[in-house]
Amino acid sequence: MSFKLYRNLSHALMFGCLSFIASGAYASNNLLMADCSVTVLPSNSSMYPGESMFNANGYPSLVKFVKGDSKKPLVVFIPGNLHLGRISYGFPGGNDKDFLAYWLNKEGYSFLSISYPLEHPVYPEDYSQFTLEDFGKQVAQITQYYIQQEKLNNSVIVLLWSGAGRSIVNINREMKNSKINLDFAV
């Protein structure tokens, strides 16, 4: 990763610092472990065009993926408490240029937003028993699914907004267990 990329990401997220997680901790030639526990669920009326609902680690997750250059790392966005990933990619009728996904994709990055199940009409029920450990597994499984399905390289950059930062330890552990290279997290 170049300094320019670090600087652009930190400016885009309005953060003053980067948290480098697991840098160099993984061999780049590790093979991904196969995981058949991710399934695509039917769409519902609360979903926007381009969104998908996945069942991963036993829970639903609202997901949006935008394909970029498969040689570049996959950028995975995790929203904060009480928010969906829509804050990173927008809404029907909105201006795409007002959202992070547009700019990262314009720079060639594949973009993946993963929303945990929260109290919102897009989810069929309340998942109060859902834990940070559950979310770490869910993020790794969905990330792995897209790396395999879209034939992306095995490098990932994780962007955590607000309270999502509390999940990085679990995400880091589960990505390592899945043999995904977490380059860094912001």
Boundaries of every domain in the chain:
37-179
Residue keyed to tokens 């790396």: 147
Please write the tens of the pLDDT for every residue from 57-109.
999 999 999 999 999 999 999 998 789 999 999 999 999 999 999 999 999 99
* Neighbour tally for 60: CB within 10 Å: 21
Nearest to 50 by CA among 17, 99, 2: 99
CA 138 to chain centre: 10
Fold of the domain spanning 37-179? Rossmann fold (3.40.50)
Which two tokens mark 99? 């959202």
d(CA 108, CA 185): 18
Arithmetic mean of pLDDT, 23-47: 59
d(CA 81, CA 45): 23
Give the predicted TM-score (pTM) of the model: 0.81
Q: 62-74 b/e with 16+ CB inside 10 Å = b?
A: bbbbbebeeebbb
In which element (H, E) is residue 160 found?
A: strand 155-160
Which two tokens mark 109? 């990055």
d(CA 131, CA 167): 9
Please write the tens of the pLDDT for every residue from 154-170.
999 999 998 888 899 99
Arithmetic mean of pLDDT, 162-184: 93
Arithmetic mean of pLDDT, 169-182: 96
Residue 150, burial from CB neighbour count under 10 angstroms (0-12, 13-18, 19+): middle
Q: Are 129 and 86 in contact (CB under 8 A)?
A: no
Angle, helices 132-149/168-177, rounded to nearest 10 degrees = 50
